Amino acid sequence: MARPIVIAGAGPVGVIAALALARQGISVHLLEAGDQIDKTRRASTTHAATLELLAPLGLVDEVIAQGLIAPRFCVWERWPRRVVAEFDFARLKDVTRYPFAVQCEQHRLTNIAFERLRAFPHAICEFSARVSGVRQFDDRVAVTVERGADIGLIEGDYLIGADGAHSAVRKALAIEFAGFTHPERFLLLTTESDFGGAYDGSARHWFVDPEEWCGLFPVTGEGGCSLWRGLFPTRSDENDAAALDDDAVEQHFQRFHPAAGAYPILHRNAYRVHQRVAAQFRKGRVFLAGDAAHVNNSLGGLGLNFGIHDAVELAHILGRVIRREAPPQMLDLYETRRRSLNIEYVQRQTIANKKLMEEKDPMARAANLDALRRTAENPVAHRDYLMRASLLESMATRERITAPPSMN
């Protein structure tokens, strides 16, 4: 009997990898350390390139139905409050079926994919099952799994580590996770206030400011109601308790958009922000995907999207090798593509995005905003910007990387 592909982590990357494999008739065993799908509010932006990948998996229609379509992206100068540049994804309608972003929170996307996965009899899904060790052999991997006080082994043909930034799989393989951590945390707040209708609810908004930049994004609440997410930096010397204090949270919104009454806050979360890339995305029969392989700041919504791209591409390559449509050396293509593309399109862009938002030098800030304004006004530059921001350019670049170094 063929052994399954074992997948550590039932976040969006792990679940979508499992679904993409199961749809090919490949047995999967999904292991999640938590007792359910994580409901923590995290990433919410799904880009056009990702929607293109979700469509063949039968997910895109429900993602759109449960989310909010955002065809525009606006960059503001916070003081004075004015739009510097507006980008319209409709300019990409000739290259994608989805010329927009969809604001669908990460846990919603994961649950949609998980419900599809459960329909496959050859997909085993276990919660409260923590991966704590990995051993590799020529023809299999042996995964140590902790289920409460019980410790057992699961054997699989391959293992996918999609178990987050603190990946036990990556640590078990002693793979370096090089990069840096930003000094401040990011503070994510959700409110049901509509700010008096001051901001377009079908657009994502960035507010550039040297003292306190802000990101403002529309999302859907329970029952389909409209909510707004605010993303702010904390002070570098501010701990989580201080950042999440009621008065501190209120002041973030009051400084951003003064209001007569208090803001109704439905959710708050402060988190560390890293820029790191694993030295290897593959080691023998084990692969890293999503945050286990790479992490970045959330400005641009690229981390979750790139992780989903990892999952879909890895499932495709594994399927071809398992069916003997491609030689085993083709597995190296996963690392060759995904690692270089992450550095080029995710790390570089998210670092630049953060620098744009927080630039303190007045002359540099003015030059940055003027360049962005000219980009938006130039049809060719406008389109190029959107191709990169939506990860459509990274997909085109991926297709030009046709073979791993071992096959050249």
pLDDT tens-digit series, residues 211-225: 999 999 999 887 777
Per-residue pLDDT at 310: 98
Count CA atoms closer than 13 A to 46's CA, side-chain side. 30
In the sheet that 68-70 helps form, which strands lie side by side, from edge to edge?
45-46, 101-103, 68-70
Contacts of 374 (CB under 8 A, 6+ apart): 381
Q: State yes or no: pLDDT of 408 exceeds 80.
A: no
DSSP string, 27-62: -EEEE-SSSS--------EE-HHHHHHHGGGT-HHH
pLDDT at position 205 is 97
Omega within 30 of 0 (cis) for the link into 4? no
215: exposed, middle or buried (C-beta count within 10 Å: 0-12, 13-18, 19+)? buried
Model pLDDT, residue 224:
75
Is 8 in contact with 169 (CB distance < 8 Å)?
yes
Report the candidate in 130, 165, 170 with the shortest Cα–Cα distance to residue 146: 130
What are the two backbone dihedrals, phi and then psi, of residue 161, each rounded to the nearest 5 degrees? Answer: -90, 105
Q: Please give the angle made by the CA atoms of 400, 403 and 407, to the nearest 5 degrees.
A: 155
**Which pLDDT belongs to residue 405?**
64
Q: Estimate to the nearest angstrom the gap between the alpha carbon of 236 and the chain centroid.
A: 24
Q: Is the pLDDT of residue 63 over 70?
A: yes
What integer is the mean pLDDT of 177-204? 94
**Residue 407's pLDDT is what?**
60
Q: Which whole number is the average pLDDT over 69-79?
A: 96
Q: Is the pLDDT of residue 87 over 60?
A: yes
Distance CA 328, CA 332 (A): 8
Residue type, 181: T
> Taken in order 46, 338, 154, 119, is the CA torsion positive or negative?
positive
Per-residue pLDDT band for 298 (boundaries 50, 70, 90) equals very high
Kindly report the length of the chain.
408
State which amino acid sits at residue 82. R
CB 78 within 8 A of CB 16: no
Residue-level pLDDT at 2: 79
Average pLDDT over residues 301-309: 96
Q: Spell out the residues 6+ positions from residue 344 whose beta carbon is closer than 8 angstroms to its own.
A: 394, 397
Which residues contact residue 83 at a Cβ distance below 8 angstroms, ignoring those fewer than 6 apart?
A: 74, 75, 76
> Which structure tokens are listed for 61?
């229609």
pLDDT higher than 80, residue 61: yes
Q: Determine contact, residues 392/305, Cβ cutoff 8 Å.
A: no
d(CA 119, CA 34): 21
Structural domains present in the chain: 5-181+275-407 (3.50.50.60)
Residue identified by tokens 């919660």 is 127
Longest Cα separation, the chain: 67
Give the phi and the psi of residue 341 in degrees, each rounded to 5: -70, -35
Give the predicted TM-score (pTM) of the model.
Answer: 0.95
The percent of residues above 90 in pLDDT, for the chain, comes to 90
- Residue 392, token pair as written in the block: 């459509």
Are the beta carbons of 234 and 243 closer than 8 angstroms?
Answer: yes
Q: List Cα–Cα distances, 225 to 196, 250, 268, in angstroms.
A: 16, 22, 18
| pLDDT tens track for 251-293 | 999 999 999 999 999 999 999 999 999 999 999 999 999 999 9
* Predicted local distance difference test score (pLDDT) of residue 307: 97
CB 46 within 8 A of CB 67: yes
Across all residues in the chain, what is the average pLDDT? Answer: 95
Q: pLDDT over 70 for what percent of the chain?
A: 98
- Residue keyed to tokens 């998980």: 114
- Residues 169-187, mean pLDDT to the nearest whole number: 96
